[in-house]
Amino acid sequence: MQDSRTLSTARVLPYSPEAIFSAFASAPVLASWWGPDGFTNTFDAFDFTVGGKWIFTMHGPDGTNYANTSYFEALEPGKLVVIRHDCPPYFTLTVRLSKVDGGTNLTWDQTFDDAATAQAVKARVGTANEENLNRLTLVLGQGIQ
């Protein structure tokens, strides 16, 4: 964790930065891996451009629906995805991709608007983010790009 507002994780994935970036850029692919284990997604709007809106519903394994609105703040193919989550809990997700031996180092920094929110969700979000990256790895391993 970089500061009291930021929850971070990192890992090396055995895929190219371009393949990982593509898994964010394609709505059907992103819908297949976004979220923790057991979640599915329905996308209502997906404009993968800087300033583009992403409106979606995450469907929890217990049947609960979670409405989400986000914007893409920065996009650099094969390098960077910055997503602003524009509904509670408010945060900015910064995903950095860098080529390394054996694949890509992915860093995932989720910076909440306030430290109290970050600390309140820390245990749940930390596990959920790891599950999210596990799902991304699985999808990439299936050759879905």
Tell me the per-residue pLDDT of 31-72, one tens digit each, with 9 for 90 and over. Answer: 999 999 999 999 999 999 999 999 999 999 999 999 999 999
Q: Are 16 and 98 in contact (CB under 8 A)?
A: no
Q: What is the pTM of this model?
A: 0.95
Tell me which DSSP letter residue 31 carries: H
Instruction: Name the residue among 47, 106, 42, 41 with its Cα closest to residue 71.
Output: 47
CATH 3.30.530.20 fits 6-141, yes or no: yes
pLDDT at residue number 1: 40
CB 32 within 8 Å of CB 138 = no
Count helices and strands in the chain by DSSP H and E runs: 3, 7
In angstroms, rounded to a whole number, what is the distance separating the alpha carbons of residues 144 and 40?
17
